[in-house]
Amino acid sequence: MYKLSAIREPVVIHKGLDNVYVKESRICYIDGEASKLFYRGYSIEELASHSTFEETTYLLIYGWLPTHSQLDQITRQLELHRTLEPQFLDLIRKFPAKSDPMDVLRTAVSALALYDPQPMTDDITDKTDKALAILAKVPTIIAAFHRLRTGNNPIPPKGNLSHAAEFLYMLTGRDPDPYDAHVMDVALILHAEHEMNASTFACTVTASTLADMYSVLTSGIGTLRGPLHGGANEAALKTVLEVGNPGNAESYVVDALAHKRRIMGFGHRVYKTWDPRYLILKKLAGELAQKKNQAKLFDTAVAIETSARKHLEGTTIFPNVDSYSGIVFHMLGIETDLFTPIFAMSRISGWTAHAIEYLEANRLIRPKALYVGKLGLPYTPIETRSGKAPE
């Protein structure tokens, strides 16, 4: 009988690939002990205070802060590609109105390849341009689907607005309040990149096969869809809405922890202290709450946070980016099921940057699985099979 050949080197199984490095990178650095996040060497605080999503996208993908003309160029490129072809819009019209917007986005980004006469290319510049064209269209796709499912006609981009403002404009048909557009812009910067997380790894695996950028970014959207990755912002908002007012926060937290339920928007695989993005979003949420008369919502979130921190004192469970992002999007008037698509809309910058960086020194990603099953089993006729796995 055939026997398993002896494995020469010692086998270490890295379930979840924890602490496995797949490449050297110059894109993102996280210090989870010190509450630090850098894109291309610039701190997230600096970028949130001074940059724009367009500029941050350029920085992530090309590696440096753009000059005036480089920024003009990427801005024009996004403007040029933001509009959806009528044929493509007709496709979105055919999607069932009840579809989850993440399913719509994943399907639509994949379908964009059908309208590109040459989706496959080996040229890195062409790949980057195709990714930017997809990035440009994603807000238009999300907004168009949302309008259609609510019985409204899609609104084409206005032109001369920022990526963030165009999205808000295409959702509502109204010029967004400049402060709202600023908040959306900062939220996009904060979600644009986060090192080798699950969706970025999925994009990198697909890129390493030399697949087209539609396939690469579709892999990222599919991976972000899972509740262990995107989606916690929706759950955090739901908690705040359910708790209802600051006075209920303490009993909610005590009960949740007693029953081993997780407080959404808390804890992180990498951050063992404050998530620096949380600090930025909390400040914006407080300002928005004042402007929008939503003090109760914000105060409830703060009360949950205060109570959770008190009961989790001595642990490494701190608030993460999702503790206030959902509240911010909610106060901007955005439907809850659009939060994860907005995350994707922003993260396409980071996915593209990593895919391109990996391709510059590509090696097909092909890990191994340690076989622990049987070998050399006799093929049995269907009449004599037991219907279960052999002992």
Query: Which of 270-273's residues contact partners 24+ apart within 8 Å by CB, and which partners?
Result: 270/30, 270/32, 270/195, 271/30, 271/32, 271/35, 271/318, 271/320, 272/32, 272/33, 272/316, 272/318, 273/32, 273/33, 273/34, 273/35, 273/316, 273/318
Q: Which of 233, 240, 247, 248 is nearest to 298 (CA)?
A: 240
Helix ranges restricted to H, the chain: 44-50, 53-62, 68-82, 86-94, 101-112, 124-149, 163-172, 178-191, 198-208, 213-224, 232-243, 249-258, 276-291, 295-311, 322-331, 339-359
Interface residue with ligand ACO among 232, 297, 348, 356 (CB under 6 A) is 232
Q: Which two tokens mark 330? A: 């909610």
Q: Tell me how many residues contact ligand ACO (CB under 6 A).
A: 14
Q: Which stretch binds ligand ACO (CB under 6 A): 41-49, 150-158, 285-293, 314-322?
A: 314-322
Q: Is 330 near ligand ACO (CB under 6 A)?
A: no
Interface residue with ligand ACO among 78, 321, 331, 353 (CB under 6 A) is 321
Whether residue 268 lies in the annotated active site: yes
φ and ψ of 31, to 5 deg: -110, 100
Interface residue with ligand ACO among 93, 238, 269, 374 (CB under 6 A) is 269
Q: Is 238 near ligand ACO (CB under 6 A)?
A: no
Separation CA 59–CA 26 (nearest Å): 11
Separation CA 212–CA 168 (nearest Å): 30
Q: Is 310 near ligand ACO (CB under 6 A)?
A: no
Residue 355, burial from CB neighbour count under 10 angstroms (0-12, 13-18, 19+): buried
Separation CA 78–CA 73 (nearest Å): 9
Q: Which stretch binds ligand ACO (CB under 6 A): 22-30, 117-125, 258-266, 280-288?
A: 258-266
Q: Is 266 near ligand ACO (CB under 6 A)?
A: yes
Q: Which stretch binds ligand ACO (CB under 6 A): 33-41, 174-182, 216-224, 262-270?
A: 262-270
Q: Is 139 near ligand ACO (CB under 6 A)?
A: no
Whether the CB-CB separation of 333 and 172 falls below 8 Å is answered with yes
Least CB distance to ligand ACO at residue 41 (A): 22
Separation CA 56–CA 349 (nearest Å): 8
Interface residue with ligand ACO among 264, 284, 297, 334 (CB under 6 A) is 264
Q: Is 263 near ligand ACO (CB under 6 A)?
A: yes
Whether the CB-CB separation of 338 and 104 falls below 8 Å is answered with no
222 vs 267, which CB is nearer to ligand ACO? 267
325 vs 352, which CB is nearer to ligand ACO? 325
92 vs 264, which CB is nearer to ligand ACO? 264
The 3-class secondary structure across 293-320, one letter per residue, is CCHHHHHHHHHHHHHHHHHCCCCCCCEC
Question: Catalytic: which of 191, 268, 330, 354?
Answer: 268
144 vs 190, which CB is nearer to ligand ACO? 190
Q: Is 262 near ligand ACO (CB under 6 A)?
A: yes
320 vs 352, which CB is nearer to ligand ACO? 320
157 vs 220, which CB is nearer to ligand ACO? 220
Residue nearest ligand ACO by beta-carbon distance: 267
145 vs 278, which CB is nearer to ligand ACO? 278
Q: Which stretch binds ligand ACO (CB under 6 A): 46-54, 238-246, 263-271, 369-377?
A: 263-271
Whether residue 123 lies in the annotated active site: no
Distance of CA 319 to the CA centre of its chain: 18
Q: Is 345 near ligand ACO (CB under 6 A)?
A: no
**Contact positions toward ligand ACO, by CB under 6 A?**
229, 232, 262-269, 317, 320-322
Q: Which residues are known catalytic residues? A: 268, 322
